[in-house]
């Protein structure tokens, strides 16, 4: 139990330091660039931390480990694509373009 508690405390401390460092970097960059370039006011440390959290929510989300979720979808589509016949692939392409499928004329 003690080992688990030490790891938890260590994780919380490292996370707090990382958030502090990133917030300081955001604040420093904002206060260096924005007033001179765009006439925006300087921000405080806590505003920078809030901006960091907001940008993470809006742009990055809070996904867990494992990489982007579209990889699993893409792999599944590629497996299905490999199993399709040439006619099924053509029908699929036409469906993506929004046109009805017309088989090629018989010769």
pLDDT tens digits along 17-56: 999 999 999 999 999 999 999 999 999 999 999 998 898 8
Task: For residue 27, count other CB atoms closer than 10 A to its CB.
Answer: 20
d(CA 102, CA 95): 11
Provide the whole-model pTM. 0.52
Write the pLDDT tens digit of every residue in 89-106. 888 887 777 766 666 677
């Amino acid at each position: 139990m003690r080992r688990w508690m030490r790891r938890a405390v260590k994780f919380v401390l490292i996370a707090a330091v990382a958030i502090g460092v990133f917030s300081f970097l955001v604040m420093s960059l904002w206060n260096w660039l924005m007033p001179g370039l765009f006439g925006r006011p300087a921000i405080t440390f806590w505003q920078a931390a809030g901006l960091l959290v907001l940008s993470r929510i809006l742009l990055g989300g809070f996904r867990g480990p494992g990489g982007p979720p579209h990889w699993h979808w893409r792999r599944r589509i590629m497996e299905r694509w490999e199993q399709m016949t040439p006619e099924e692939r053509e029908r699929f392409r036409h469906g993506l373009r929004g046109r009805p499928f017309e088989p090629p004329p018989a010769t």
